[in-house]
Structure 1
Amino acid sequence: MKRLILTIALLSPACLLFAQQEKSDINQGNKLYEQQKYKEAEEAYRKSVAKKTETVEGNFNLGDALYKQKQYDKAQEQFNKLGASSNKAVAAQAYHNLGNSLLESKKLEESIEAYKKALINNPADDQTRYNLAYAQEKLKQQKQQNKNNKNKDNKNNKDDKNKQDQNKQNQDKKDQDKKDQDKKNSDQNKNDQNKDQDKKDQQNGQQPNKISKEDAQRMLDALNNQEKDTQDKLKNKKLKGVKVHITKDW
């Protein structure tokens, strides 16, 4: 079983076989490229392209030099143009390097398409096949990560909503408790005020709707005495009778 590995090394300009005779600028660019002087190599390749715009090797190697300088967008322009070549070998290598440039730019889906085009032109290229499998695996991981992040966001949103609801419930309970306590305090204040007023009334000798046991007894005794006097008066009146003038009739 083959292990999934990433091979992003660009195909070396020295290994490219083109029918066109190498020019001095291209040769100079290749030497600089091998020395990893990519900026100087780029300038040499641009000179060759300026002299002959349709030079395949000059344009291809220019794309390589741009790639090495991490100028991936410019490198993609070069390889994309070369991918339209009628020469399948050139097209396959151009799409391979285009796929690498897109991969470095995190454009996974586009890099996969580029690798597929490279394999159409050269089905036997294992290096491109490995890079294609790698890009597909990275895309799969990216989609799974995006899904996990979405689920996490949804969970966080749900947790936030539950927290907000709980906070609201807690606040409502606090508000209600405060209202209940305020009412209780108000009722207590009224009771205290009534007690204070009753106390004042007692101190002032005023006891509305209330009489002491002694006062009640005195009132009862007074009523009894009045009733007794009344009865005695009636009794005496009965015993004495009424004086009647008698006329002797005989």
Structure 2
Amino acid sequence: MKMNNINIGISIIFMLIGLTSNAQTDKGLIRQGNKEFKNGNYSEAEVNYRKSLDKEYSPKAQFNLGDALYEQKNYEAAEKNFSEVTERNVSKSLESDAYYNLGNTYMAQEKYAEAFDAYKKSLKTNPENEDARYNLEYARWKMIKQQQEQQQQQQQNQDNQQQQQQQQQQQQQQQNQEQQEQQQNQDNNNQQQQQQQQQQMSKEDAERMLKALENQEKETMEDMNEKKAAQMQKRKSEKDW
């Protein structure tokens, strides 16, 4: 059977093909699975199809199992079963339908390139499958749109990355400038402190030199006074004699 599906924006009807049984499988399990499927009891249908396959393999039973899994939105498991049917030695009609439903399963997972390939194989096997032809074009459109969106997202990511790098560079430049200004201020403060220390030392040196000169002048005056006193004393002694 082909699954019904409605896509937002564009409605795509995946027409149902009849559920099938195989004379070599347990007909009671197949019939029960078909009944459960038609009543919307897809998990119960799955159980019956699996029991039938456990008794004896049938590509058509596995095909119906894929349908039941698809309706339960277990797309990966459905994909696996439909894919295995295409690898079996089955009729062209069943092979085409398996590729068709495989394409539907890929579409449900937004694997549009894979869906496009599956629909193309369905048409190759059965060129009269008009549903596959229609869905092929829809898958092509979705695939191109997805590629464009991915390219736009990649471009957006690149733009965001470049913008982030620019912001980081600006922040780094600002940080470097602030560090340079801090270093310059520190150097200026150090220079001012050195100048103040030099000025302080120069003042202290000048005071010491002035005091030394005063002491030297005082000593010189004292020496001169002592010599003068000694000369006067000598003259007085000579006169008294």
TM-score (norm: length of structure 1): 0.67
Deviations 1:156-176 (A, max 9, x none): 222232223222222222222
Task: Provide the C-alpha distance between the structure 2 equivalents of 1:41 and 1:165, rounded to a whole number of angstroms.
Answer: 62
Partner of 1:58: 61
Partner of 1:171: 175
Cα distance change of structure 1 residues 195 and 37 upon mapping to structure 2, 3 Å threshold: same
What's the CA shift for 1:41?
Answer: 1.0
- What aligned pairs does 1:1-250 form with structure 2 within 5 A after superposition? 5-7=10-12, 9=14, 11-14=16-19, 23-54=27-58, 56-83=59-86, 84-197=88-201, 206=210
Structure 1 vs Structure 2 CA RMSD: 3.1
Cα distance change of structure 1 residues 125 and 207 upon mapping to structure 2, 3 Å threshold: farther
Partner of 2:216: none
State the aligned residue count: 202
Task: Give yes or no for contact 1:6–1:130 (8 Å, CA) kept in 2.
Answer: no
Task: Provide the C-alpha distance between the structure 2 equivalents of 1:106 and 1:139, rounded to a whole number of angstroms.
Answer: 9
What's the CA shift for 1:87?
Answer: 2.0
What's the CA shift for 1:124?
Answer: 2.8
Task: Give yes or no for contact 1:60–1:94 (8 Å, CA) kept in 2.
Answer: yes
Q: Which protein has greater RCO, CA pairs closer than 8 Å, 6+ apart?
A: 1
Task: Provide the C-alpha distance between the structure 2 equivalents of 1:78 and 1:86, rounded to a whole number of angstroms.
Answer: 14
Task: Give yes or no for contact 1:6–1:131 (8 Å, CA) kept in 2.
Answer: no
The share of aligned pairs that are identical, in percent, is: 34
Gaps of 5+ in 1: 209-250
The structure whose residues are more often helix, as a share, is 2
What's the CA shift for 1:116?
Answer: 0.6
Q: Does 190-199 or 146-155 show the bigger shift?
A: 190-199
What's the CA shift for 1:201?
Answer: 6.9
Gaps of 5+ in 2: 1-8, 213-241
Task: Give yes or no for contact 1:88–1:122 (8 Å, CA) kept in 2.
Answer: yes
